[in-house]
A and B are shown apart, each in its own frame.
Chain A
Amino acid sequence: MNEADLGPLFELPADPHYLWIAGTVVTVLAISVLVVGLVRGRLTRALLMAALLLPATAYGIGYLFMLEESKSVEFCGSCHVTMSPLVAALDEDTESLASIHWQRGAVSHTDACYRCHSGYGIWGDVAAKRAGIMHMVRTVTGNYEFPIEAKHFNVDSCLGCHVQAVGFREVEEHLDREIQEELLSGESSCAGDCHEVAHPETALWGVAGPPLEEAP
């Protein structure tokens, strides 16, 4: 979505990019000090301290920046081979849970992937970051298979928003002990088992799409 879609006066929430500004300033300072070292071949004690601390600080800010930016839908979709069809389907598809939430604005367009795949609360965030690191490792090593699937979808992601809704609690199945146990243990899932699938099946096969069925 861009600002032009919102009419003459409405605008998207402002994002001041404090980490970006701080990181860029520290990085430029660090490069300046290192260039002095590169040219002179020696550094004073003060400059040496700066040459050691500034790059480390810049990288620390870089990590925070990456953790923050990796929540964005654009970031997820940037892994072209695997993820871009899933992100494209948010706009194009109308049947899956993800696209229904997306098109109704029930989930933020800024970090929709992260909201639904991170569980809820701080441990959900930690689990999502750990999973994100593994995604990077798998991307580098090519250690993944199509169709991609979530090993375990944390039902807390759904409950975080839905559990307090009157309409949710009025559904008898939602209060059934057995069903709740199955959902919490990961034996079953809201998506696909009772409600629509999370993402369209074709999008799970990456940009190449699903394989052509063999002729009988």
Chain B
Amino acid sequence: MLRLACLLGIAALVILIALFLDPNGSTAIVFSFIGNPLLALAVLLGLLWWWRTPRETL
């Protein structure tokens, strides 16, 4: 689950880098409508992994 969260997070950040490199209408739309849901899902999965992982193993 953590691996999937990290993968989604990296994908979201690659979209952000595209926006930084070439800010235009297309990259802004992808950032807003694809990057944000990806990041939200990644954070959700990360929190879920943390919640399900025994504290002593962290």
Contacts and interface: CB of A to CB of B under 8 A. Distances in A.
Does B bind A?
yes
Interface in B1-54: 2-3, 5-7, 9-10, 12-14, 16-17, 19-20, 23-26, 28-29, 31-33, 35-36, 39, 42-43, 46-47, 50, 53
Contacts of A35: 6, 10
B50 to A, nearest CB: 6
Q: Which of A37, A56, A72, A75 has the most CB of B within 10 A?
A: A37
Contact of A48 (B25, B29, B50): B50
Contact of A51 (B9, B32, B53): B9
Nearest to B8: A34
A140 B29 contact: yes
Interface in A67-81: 69-70, 72, 74-75, 78-79
What is the interface of chain B mostly: helix, strand, loop, or mixed? helix
Contact of A136 (B9, B32, B53, B58): B32
B28 A66 contact: yes
B5 A37 contact: yes
Given A35-B6, A136-B28, A65 B12 contact: no
Given A41-B3, A45-B58, A52-B46, A140 B19 contact: no
A59 B34 CA distance: 12
B9 A62 contact: no
Interface residues of B, number: 34
A35 B13 CA distance: 12
B19 A65 contact: yes
Contact of B13 (A58, A70, A140): A58
Interface string A26-63: 01001100110110011111001001100110110010
A142 B2 CA distance: 37
A64 to B, nearest CB: 12
Contacts of A42: 2, 53, 57
Nearest to A66: B28
Contacts of B42: 55
Contact of A34 (B10, B23, B32): B10
Closest 5 CB pairs of A and B: A78-B24, A69-B23, A37-B6, A38-B6, A79-B25
